[in-house]
């Protein structure tokens, strides 16, 4: 199957500092790929590079199109939705306003109400809190809102930056279950950055391990899960 996203020889720079050296990976259409690695390995930077939020060199192709010189807004219009670390919701706006703003780039405005309802089927907790200010939601609910917002873009590809960060285990399990449903029912492909390697490897079909800006290991998740080094370093058994 042709790759939906193909990244080759990716380098990234913050000013004079180079953070990615030679990163390459693929996501199959309908697939879920995870990037694992310790703090500072370059996972967040890789997501930023795809959205052209950091200076890069190398090749990033989405459905064969080169994203390299595209503005971040154009990349969003290709229906690549970034769920950043820290969630990026508007804390003083309500749940409803956050979701409607997310749909502003869409041309089919009349379908937005239908899509709100569709998004609420995945996130009934948000439906119950539709007029609540986003900043007063629990951490788990805010993460749900961040994913729901991305879903309002009708994404082909979601870039998810540590959705489990700072959340209690039960809510993390719930969020990962919803992500699986979104992948299966909506056909949304995903690139998932995670510290929680066990959960990420359960969800993803392919995994890449980053170390100081380089891919040091890659393969089907089942193989990576059983690799002794990965088990010791990331799974803790």
Measured from the CB of residue 138, what is the shortest distance to ligand ATP in angstroms? Answer: 22
Interacting stretch for ligand ATP, rule CB under 6 A, among 13-21, 131-139, 149-157, 220-228? 13-21
Measured from the CB of residue 12, what is the shortest distance to ligand ATP in angstroms? Answer: 8
Measured from the CB of residue 40, what is the shortest distance to ligand ATP in angstroms? Answer: 4
CA–CA distance, 27 with 29 (Å, rounded to integer):
6
Among 8, 9, 14, 226, binds ligand ATP (CB under 6 A): 14
- Angle between helical axes of 112-122 and 139-151 (0-180°, round to 10): 140
**Sites for ligand ATP among residues 32-91 (CB under 6 A):** 37, 39-45
Confirm if 104 and 90 have CB atoms less than 8 A apart: no
Per DSSP bridges, beta strands 157-161 and 189-194 are parallel
CA–CA distance, 186 with 227 (Å, rounded to integer):
31
User: Is residue 16 close enough to count as binding ligand ATP by CB under 6 A?
Assistant: no
Measured from the CB of residue 43, what is the shortest distance to ligand ATP in angstroms? Answer: 4
- Angle between helical axes of 169-186 and 139-151 (0-180°, round to 10): 10
User: Is residue 17 close enough to count as binding ligand ATP by CB under 6 A?
Assistant: yes
Please say which residue, 35 or 188, places its beta carbon nearer to ligand ATP: 35
CA–CA distance, 166 with 81 (Å, rounded to integer):
22
Q: Would you tell me which residues interact with ligand ATP (CB under 6 A)?
A: 14, 17, 19, 37, 39-45, 195
């Amino acid at each position: 199957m042709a790759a939906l996203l193909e990244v080759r020889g990716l380098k990234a720079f913050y000013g004079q500092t180079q953070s990615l050296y030679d990163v390459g990976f693929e996501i199959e259409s309908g697939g879920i790929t995870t990037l694992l690695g310790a703090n500072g390995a370059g996972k967040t930077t890789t997501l930023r590079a795809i959205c052209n939020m950091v200076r890069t060199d190398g090749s990033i192709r989405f459905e064969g199109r080169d994203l390299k010189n595209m503005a971040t807004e154009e990349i969003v219009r290709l229906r690549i939705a970034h769920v950043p670390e820290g969630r990026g919701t508007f804390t003083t706006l309500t749940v409803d306003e956050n979701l409607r703003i997310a749909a502003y780039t869409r041309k089919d405005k009349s379908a937005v109400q239908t899509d709100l309802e569709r998004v609420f089927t995945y996130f009934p907790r948000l439906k119950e809190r539709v007029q609540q200010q986003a900043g007063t939601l629990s951490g788990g609910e805010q993460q749900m809102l961040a994913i729901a917002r991305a879903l309002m873009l009708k994404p082909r590809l979601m870039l998810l930056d540590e959705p489990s960060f700072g959340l209690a285990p039960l809510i993390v399990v719930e969020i990962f279950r919803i992500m699986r449903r979104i992948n299966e029912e909506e056909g949304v492909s995903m690139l998932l950055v995670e510290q929680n390697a066990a959960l990420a490897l359960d969800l993803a079909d392919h995994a890449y391990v980053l170390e100081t800006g380089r891919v040091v290991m890659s393969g089907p998740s089942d193989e990576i899960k059983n690799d002794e080094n990965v088990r010791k370093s990331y799974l803790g058994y």
